[in-house]
Amino acid sequence: MTDNAHENREELIPPFVETSGDYYQRQFEKIGSRARFTWTFNWVAALLGPVWFGMRGLWNWGLPFIILETFAVIQLARGLFGDLGAEARDRIAQIEGTLEFRHKQLAAAIEKQSDKVEVFERAIQSLQNAITDINLEIVQAEAAATTVALFGLGMLLVVKLVEGVIANPALEKRFSQWLSDRTLTNGLSPLRTTITVAFVILIFTVSIIHFAFPGTLEWLATFPTDRQIRLSGIAFVERIFDAARAGGGYLFDSISYGIRVVLDGLEVLFVQSPWPVIASFIILLTWLSAGTKGAIAAAGFLLYMGLFGFWEKAMTTLALLGTAALLSISLGIPLGLFSARRPRFYAVIRPIMDFMQTMPSFVFMIPVIAFFSVGKPAAVITTMIFGGTPVVRLTVLGMRGVPESIREAAIAYGASKWFLLTKVDLPLASPSILAGVNQTIMLSLAMVVVASLIGAKGLGEDVLEALQYSSVGQGILAGFAILFCAMILNQIVQGKRD
């Protein structure tokens, strides 16, 4: 750095910090003169804590410090003023209500000379033992109040120490960024200071009242609302779905019919064909894609399914999965190719795909059942919603990753749009597209068990039964069968590229 640049940097520090310019000039020069971390301590930042960082616009540090200080202050307030046994006393009150009811039952049983007298006596004794144990917990909790307070105090001091050490380097880094980007926050804005102080006071006050003095303000524990709002929302959503079912019945029937045609065809191929034919076909396909080792592994997986009686259900799963994956890929790759060169269109469908991937599967099963009823078509649609987006995203990513220089060279030599797509874009984007295909298949397979809840047959049904009846052996064996199906498909799709 030249002397002139160094002088200009020092001259810009006072207008950047606005207060204590000389102090920060010395500290910034000390920090900037060394490549490694330099020890400095800002007493004002340590005392004000997150308020100082918020005033300076350093919210990336201020927010974590608010959380840490709030937790420390809560522990300190709980230890000094809080009732650490309040929760346990509430549990005792609940148990005492049950105990009173059991005493009435015991009295009635003795009066009637019932054979349940001993049962009620054991229940009463169990409840009394529970009360004794909880009373012991209350004594221990109240005895630990000093420890909790000391822990909170110690943590608060440690956080204050860290705040004082971090403050100057963090502000110096912001100053270096500000030198090249003057739009960054600098100085001490009265509005920012007011907002920071109000925010920190609000967080501290509400948190301390809620955790250290529970029950003082009931609205802190339960959001103030009206049950009628929820009921009105439910009624509104149901009216929308009723109108959609009434107006789109033909469309939903047509979609179900199309899915059923593809699914029936694959079930004929996988389920009704002789097992040696299907096994030979899968092994040969794996050999062509992944080589001899892949074919041997596929043969072993198929042997496992046959020996343990999973053959028919595994083939049913492959048919269902194949239908969902085939439709997802057939729709996803063209959609990805169309979106890759149209950023505005992709900006529209990307939030929709985000919604499809983030919404829990059990939630979007509800509208699918409402429109398509239960059964295999509904299971296929649910699987497509969950697993259909990766192929679109990765197709777009692959197409956008094609070097423009190569495309421009092809265009310069007179390549048509079709030639450009088939001979340039798709070959170069194929690794990403195939990765999307693989991810779609794997995510579709992950829906096997969930889809069994709405009428899909196959291996997911065995796993679901194992969950319902705690059949560990059945669940593990069926789970391995699902795993082997996934490994076979992965070998076929990825092949030697792995």
For residue 254, give both structure tokens: 């047509």
Closest CA to 163 of 327, 20, 43, 27: 43
Contacts of 64-71 spanning 24+ positions with Cβ under 8 A: 65/159, 65/162, 65/163, 66/200, 66/203, 68/155, 68/159, 69/156, 69/159, 69/204, 70/203, 70/204, 70/207, 71/155
How many domains are there within the chain? 3
Q: Is residue 234 part of a domain?
A: no
Q: Is residue 464 part of a domain?
A: yes
* Residues 173 and 129 both lie in one domain: no
Backbone dihedral region of 223: left (phi > 0), alpha (psi from -120 to 50 degrees) or beta? beta
Alpha carbons 348 and 357: distance in angstroms, whole number: 15
Q: Is residue 237 part of a domain?
A: no
* Residues 412 and 476 both lie in one domain: yes
* Residues 253 and 283 both lie in one domain: yes
Q: Which of 205, 221, 237 is the last residue of a domain?
A: 221
pLDDT of residue 157: 94
* Residues 294 and 331 both lie in one domain: yes
Q: Is residue 240 part of a domain?
A: no
Q: What is the CATH number of the domain that holds 406?
A: 1.10.3720.10
* Residues 395 and 296 both lie in one domain: yes
pLDDT of residue 226: 81
Rounded to a whole number of angstroms, the distance between the first and last alpha carbons of the chain is 50
* Residues 112 and 193 both lie in one domain: no
Alpha carbons 469 and 462: distance in angstroms, whole number: 11
Q: Is residue 231 part of a domain?
A: no
Alpha carbons 393 and 350: distance in angstroms, whole number: 8
Q: Which of 124, 143, 162 is the last residue of a domain?
A: 143
Render each residue's pLDDT in the chain as its tens digit; 498 residues. 444 445 577 778 888 888 888 888 888 888 877 777 778 899 999 999 999 998 888 888 989 999 999 999 888 888 887 777 777 777 888 888 888 888 888 888 888 777 777 877 888 888 888 888 888 887 777 777 888 889 989 999 999 999 999 999 999 888 888 888 888 878 888 888 899 899 989 988 888 887 777 767 777 777 777 888 888 988 998 888 888 888 877 888 888 888 888 888 887 888 788 888 888 988 898 888 888 888 898 899 889 988 888 888 888 888 888 788 888 888 889 999 998 888 899 899 998 888 887 887 778 788 888 888 777 888 888 888 888 888 899 999 988 888 888 888 888 888 888 888 888 888 888 888 888 888 888 888 777 777 777 777 778 888 878 877 777 888 888 888 888 887 887 777 766 554
* Residues 91 and 69 both lie in one domain: no
* Residues 182 and 301 both lie in one domain: no
Alpha carbons 156 and 68: distance in angstroms, whole number: 8
CA–centroid distance for 83 within its chain = 36
Q: Is residue 235 part of a domain?
A: no
* Residues 300 and 399 both lie in one domain: yes
Q: Provide DSSP, 436-483.
A: HHHHHHHHHHHTHHHHGGGT--SHHHHHHHHHHHT-HHHHHHHHHHHH
pLDDT of residue 498: 45
Q: Which of 221, 236, 257 is the last residue of a domain?
A: 221
Contacts of 352 by beta carbon, 8 Å cutoff, 6+ apart: none
Give the domain range for residue 133.
Answer: 86-143
* Residues 188 and 316 both lie in one domain: no
In three-state secondary structure terms, 214 is coil
Q: How many CB atoms sit inside 10 A of residue 490's CB?
A: 17
Alpha carbons 475 and 273: distance in angstroms, whole number: 27
Quickly tell me which residue has 């041997």 as its tokens.
296
* Residues 421 and 315 both lie in one domain: yes
Q: Is residue 232 part of a domain?
A: no
Question: One-letter amino acid identity for 99?
Answer: L
Contact between 106 and 117 under an 8 Å Cβ cutoff? The reply is yes
pLDDT of residue 495: 63
Q: Is residue 230 part of a domain?
A: no
* Residues 196 and 303 both lie in one domain: no
pLDDT of residue 14: 85
For Cα atoms 274, 275, 281, give the angle at the middle one, nearest 5 degrees.
100
pTM over cut 0.85: no
Q: Provide DSSP, 352-367.
A: HHHHHHHS-HHHHHHH
Closest CA to 270 of 320, 319, 326: 319
